[in-house]
Amino acid sequence: MNSTPTIRPHSFLRLLPFYLVGFAILGLLLPLLASPQLPVIRFVRDPDPAPDFQLKDLAGKDLSLASVHGKVVLLNFWATWCGPCRAEIPSLIELQNRYKDRLQIIGLADDDDPDAVKQVVESEGINFPVAMVTNEVRFDYGGILALPTLFVINSEGRIVQKHVGLFNPALYETEVRALLDLPIAAKVETFEDTGEIFLKHADRATMLPGVNTTKLTPDQRLVALHKFNAEECTCGCKLTLAQCRINDPACSYSKDRAAAIVEEIFAAGEKDKAGTPATAPASPEPPKP
């Protein structure tokens, strides 16, 4: 006995409109399924070498970047009194466990009390080396003006990204996997460092946060950018105006001074145009003899 169900012709015809609608919907969905909108991660193009350091971790062992060369490194500047720093510790511990053979997380504590740091390391079960940061290391990394600050270093020892503040742990893992050539559900883009990683590269920037130079000519804009990189901000940060705008877009001192420079250059240009004599009419040709 044949147990294969039989579809009567009239039943098929009755269901045909539903099949057609289904095929139409599938046709609309296939392009979306084939090319989903992937999230984007960004790495520096032609990254700078990460400055090495020679420190002692809390256990008294030597700690340097050179000793972990060949691994991806997350260099995390943090402090025990920093709430966001403490909040991301569990995710860093999990990340170190997951990729322990090819990833090395290093914590640099910006604290005055090593005993307080040791207590947090023990209570949180931190599984990566932690050392007390020095002023020299802070300076080498461009000045650490906010915590947490995390530098992403590739296996060649170059800084490809910098994160300031509390970030999604999934982002860190995606970046680590990308640098380890593991599959990721993200698109990788590159960018030139114009001060986002090292403030010393602020002189490469053609635009600064909160500074409108659209009224200037291209030549005037270059003059303005030169002044932004030559003049120091008066807010006390000891950075240039350009560096301060990149590092602290909320700073009213650098914002107001940069706006004043733009107005000065624009006004000077308008004055020059007003003072330029009109083109003299052509001299009449002398009468022919």
**From 20-29, 98-107, 277-286, the region with the lowest mean pLDDT:** 20-29
pLDDT of 272 reads 87
pLDDT of 182 reads 98
Q: List the structure tokens of 98.
A: 């997951």
251 is catalytic: no
85 is catalytic: yes
Q: Find the catalytic residue in 82, 233, 244, 251.
A: 82
CA–CA gap between residue 274 and residue 164 (Å, rounded): 47
Mean pLDDT computed over 19-39 = 54
Query: Hey, what's the torsion of the CAs at 25, 28, 29, 31, to 10 degrees?
Result: 160
The pLDDT tens digits for 96-139 are: 999 999 999 999 999 999 999 999 999 999 999 999 999 999 99
Question: What structural domains and CATH numbers belong to the chain?
Answer: 55-191 (3.40.30.10), 199-273 (no CATH)
CA–CA gap between residue 104 and residue 122 (Å, rounded): 19
The pLDDT tens digits for 166-220 are: 999 999 999 999 999 999 999 999 999 999 998 889 899 989 999 999 999 999 9
Measured over all CA atoms, what is the biggest interatomic distance in the chain, rounded to whole angstroms? 125
CA–CA gap between residue 229 and residue 233 (Å, rounded): 10
* The model's pTM: 0.74
Residue 31, preceding peptide bond in cis (omega within 30° of 0): no
Query: Hey, what's the torsion of the CAs at 101, 104, 105, 111, to 10 degrees?
Result: 130
The pLDDT tens digits for 65-74 are: 999 999 999 9
Q: Find the catalytic residue in 85, 233, 244, 251.
A: 85
Q: Which amino acid is at 226?
A: H
Query: b/e per residue, 256-266, with b = 16+ CB within 10 A?
Result: ebbeebbeebb
